[in-house]
Amino acid sequence: MVQIWLQAALSPEDDVRVIHDLSWLECRPERPDRRHQWMYVSLVPSYAPAEDCDDIVFYEDERGYAKVANTIADDCHIYFYCGTLYNIPADANAPPPFTCVTSGHYIGVFSAEDYVPMVKGITDAVFFKVESLEVGERALRKAIERSDIVRFLTPL
């Protein structure tokens, strides 16, 4: 199996890689053993077929790691689209309803009970109910395309 590495970045100073085959990740001789923690950021929507999966891997001692760690909400996977990181529930089978948050502490689609801390204390928070994760993620990606996304960096 051939592994394909491409250069990608969240900003020009970040050093990140896109991995097209993740099955060999834990046994790579070219990576030092000291790298124990990493996070994946998906480059394709959660509703895309599994065979279309593309991920960026952030290792804990790389510059992009802190940016991703500060963006990810509890019990979520993180996605990247048009320069924006956003959250989708890790449980793809979570029951509706969902809430799409386009302006809040965290950006993404959250299950009904999980969205409140994402907008608490923000006067101009923007969020709305959606019937499914796919509908919410499509609406979120449209908001990203229109630059209608605001993340408030105040701690929860």
Residue 36 is predicted with a pLDDT of 58
- CB distance 39 to 22 below 8 Å: no
Give the confidence band of 30 by pLDDT, cuts at 50, 70, 90: very low
Which comes out higher in pLDDT, residue 23 or 155? 155
For 39-91, write each residue's pLDDT tens digit: 888 999 999 988 888 888 887 877 778 888 888 888 999 999 998 999 999 99
For 94-139, write each residue's pLDDT tens digit: 899 999 999 998 999 998 777 888 888 888 889 999 999 999 999 9
Given a cut of 60, whether residue 4 has pLDDT beyond it is no
Nearest in space to 55 (alpha carbons), one of 99, 103, 96, 3: 3
Given a cut of 70, whether residue 20 has pLDDT beyond it is no
Report how far residue 129's alpha carbon sits from residue 136's, in angstroms, rounded to the nearest whole number: 8
Nearest in space to 104 (alpha carbons), one of 87, 89, 90, 91: 87
Which comes out higher in pLDDT, residue 39 or 6? 39
pTM: 0.73
Mean pLDDT over each residue of the chain, to the nearest integer: 76
Which comes out higher in pLDDT, residue 143 or 62? 143
